Amino acid sequence: MPRVRPVIVVANWKMNTTPREAGDLAGRIAAATNEPDVVRVICPPFVGLHAVRDALAGTDVQLGVQNVHWEQAGAYTGEISAAMVAGLAGWAIVGHSERRRDQHETDERIGQKMRRCHETGIRPIFCVGEKLDERESGRAEQVVRSQVEAAFEALGPVEWPAHDDDATGGWLVVAYEPVWAIGTGRTARGSDAAEMAELIRETAGNAMPREQAAALPVLYGGSVTSATIGEFLAEPALDGALVGGASLKVDEMAGIVARAAVGARARKSAGPVS
C-alpha cells in the first residue's frame, strides 16, 4: 500500500568538531530540535561517534557516519568498514560529492558501499548530483541517471522489504546534491530539485519494486540554510535535507527542523503518496 514518505534532516558535520565539541553540539541540537514528526540524523566525524551517541541517549535523534568502506574487512589502512560501526550508527552517507572529487570514488565503489550497508543493517544516504559544467551543457539529468543506474548495478540483487510500518523511510535514502551549489553560496531552484527527485525515483524503479521506488525519500543537499530550506520543503517530491555547514549551528538546525516539521504534519494530513 502507498505510504507517506517521511521528512528527514541529516546533519553532515564533515571534518569539524573534536569529540568533546561533538558531544556538546549534539546535545544542544537535540534539545533545540525536539520535533518527533521529523527524522533527525547527526553524522559526526568517526572520532566523535561515542561522544555523540552518549549525548543523544534518551532522545529520538539518530546517529550516522559520513562514509564506510566498500569491503567489510581487509588491508585498507585508515579505513572504517560498515561492520565496525553497525553497533554505533544506523545511517551512513555514501557517495558524497566531496569524496567523489577528493577520493575519486566511482559509482561502482559507491554501489558496493551500499551493499555493505545492506549487509550490516545500516541505512545508506546515497548522494548523487551534477557539476556546474554538466548542468550548463544540458547533461544534468543524464549524469544523475547514470550515477543511479551504475550504483544500483554494483549494488546487485538485494531484498527490498516493504517497511510499510517504518517511519524512517525503509532501507534506502537518496540525497540530490548539485555539486555547483555546495559551499558556493548558490542554490538550485526548488522546482529543479523536485524534477530531479522524480527522475531519481523513476530510475530507481528499474532496479527495485516500483511501489517502493515511489516511496523512496529524496533529500536536497546544497548549501542548505534555515533561510533557503523553505523553497525545497514546499516541493512534494522532496523529503528533507542533507545539511552541511549550517548543521554546525544550533540556531540554524533548529530553524531547518522547525520548517521541516510544518511540512511533515501537512503530509500526514494529506495522506499517502500515490
Each residue of 71-115: pLDDT tens digit? 999 999 999 999 999 999 999 999 999 999 999 999 999 999 999
What is the band of 5 on the pLDDT scale with cuts at 50, 70, 90?
Answer: very high
For residue 164, pLDDT over 70 is answered with no
35, 98, 177, 252: the catalytic one is 177
User: In this structure, are strands 123-128 and 7-12 parallel, antiparallel, or unpaired?
Assistant: unpaired
69, 96, 118, 134: the catalytic one is 96
Q: Could you read off the pLDDT of 202-232 as tens digits, one per residue? A: 999 999 999 999 999 999 998 899 999 999 9
For residue 253, pLDDT over 50 is answered with yes
- Is residue 158, in this structure, part of any structural domain at all? yes
- Is residue 244, in this structure, part of any structural domain at all? yes
- Is residue 1, in this structure, part of any structural domain at all? no
Judge whether 159 counts as a catalytic residue: no
- Average pLDDT for the chain: 93
For residue 165, pLDDT over 80 is answered with no
3-state SS track over the chain = CCCCCCEEEEEECCCCCCHHHHHHHHHHHHHHCCCCCEEEEEECCHHHHHHHHHHHCCCCCEEEECCCCCCCCCCCCCCCCHHHHCCCCCEEEECCHHHHHHCCCCHHHHHHHHHHHHHHCCEEEEEECCCHHHHHCCCHHHHHHHHHHHHHHHHCCCCCCCCCCCCCCCCCEEEECCHHHCCCCCCCCHHHHHHHHHHHHHHHCCCCCHHHHHCCCEEECCCCCCCCHHHHHCCCCCCEEEECHHHHCHHHHHHHHHHHHHHHHHHHHHCCCC
Can you give the CATH number for the domain in which 62 is found?
A: 3.20.20.70
Mean pLDDT of 9-31: 98
- Is residue 57, in this structure, part of any structural domain at all? yes
For residue 168, pLDDT over 90 is answered with no
- Is residue 2, in this structure, part of any structural domain at all? no
Position 1 scores a pLDDT of: 40
Instruction: Please give the residue range of the domain that contains residue 89.
Output: 7-270
Position 239 scores a pLDDT of: 97
- Using CA of residue 183, residue 184, residue 186, residue 191, what is the dihedral sign? negative
CA nearest neighbour of 242 among 7, 4, 15: 7
Position 167 scores a pLDDT of: 56
- What is the spatial distance between Cα 201 and Cα 179, in angstroms, rounded to a whole number? 20
Structural domain tally of the chain? 1
Position 222 scores a pLDDT of: 86
Q: What percent of the chain lies above the pLDDT cut of 70?
A: 93
- What is the spatial distance between Cα 246 and Cα 266, in angstroms, rounded to a whole number? 25
Judge whether 177 counts as a catalytic residue: yes
Position 213 scores a pLDDT of: 93
